Structure 1
């Protein structure tokens, strides 16, 4: 079997349709840099829009993570979230709560560390599914966004279970976020559907 025959079919992502890539390496590098900076900035802003809770705050970050992964694709989406995490690891105040005494890598050992790792995992999953066309239809995008939120919550719960008793980890890492997750999933679906609708009407969708 040839290498080409083994390659999975790939569909253009939302960003790929709105801002197509080129063969020019310098253009591609500039395009990627701009999108990564914009995406990491949106993640920082969404981290600061929060409802404080005892262990893990409720923020808009999961919504932004899923939209970045679904819109950018797995490579660029993953790189964007990785840039955001690197900024936090370097001590930049990009996370939801960044007290000076636990800035940098130490932040990942705190109660939100699992959720942060989940952001990267979810962006990769969302990007991979989007490149397989899952971001186009209502039912598939709903399943896709639900899975993305599940990945983040499971990663967060897993790490909290290391730090806290399992029952406590469930009560502070899952239960408070169920209603918000439902709302943000519905919003992510609506935003993705609206974005593709506008893209199709503009004639840029492949």
Structure 2
């Protein structure tokens, strides 16, 4: 895992996988879900924050990032385009994503079971807390997942498996996770670094 260019709110965990300051989620609990998402996502920079504000201003959207990939969201701002004006390729976007709380209370789609090891679906460092956790533990809020990164990644994964979201793919989610594990951030495009809170904010926006 890269140690340079680390986000100032992140500290090393015992699992040697990027984690946010444990005190941060508690502070965000006092905010509304939308407010917390807005604050987290502004860490990605002014351009990304512009995406969030643009999308929130568009009426009738089933979710904040309906049909919008991470790279498309950042690219739109770089071109001074409203995300809603981007053309979609393929079928119309399906935006019925559920958040982790909802998935923790209902049956999961074929392809992923609560009893599965989380590492069966997302690569984990050998010996890390993530590698030893079940999907059920992750979804219910494992204490070592202080950024909620794994929790929201798994919920997004179930949304894709169940067909509730069709503009994300299993491969893209795994790629984001793997890059974050290896580097401590994910780059949706050159010159942009999204840390755990930024990624969680984006994933939340595919579920709200």
Question: Same fold by TM (over 0.5)?
Answer: no
TM score, norm. by length of structure 2 = 0.30
Question: Quick check: which has more Rg, 1 or 2?
Answer: 1
TM score, norm. by length of structure 1 = 0.30
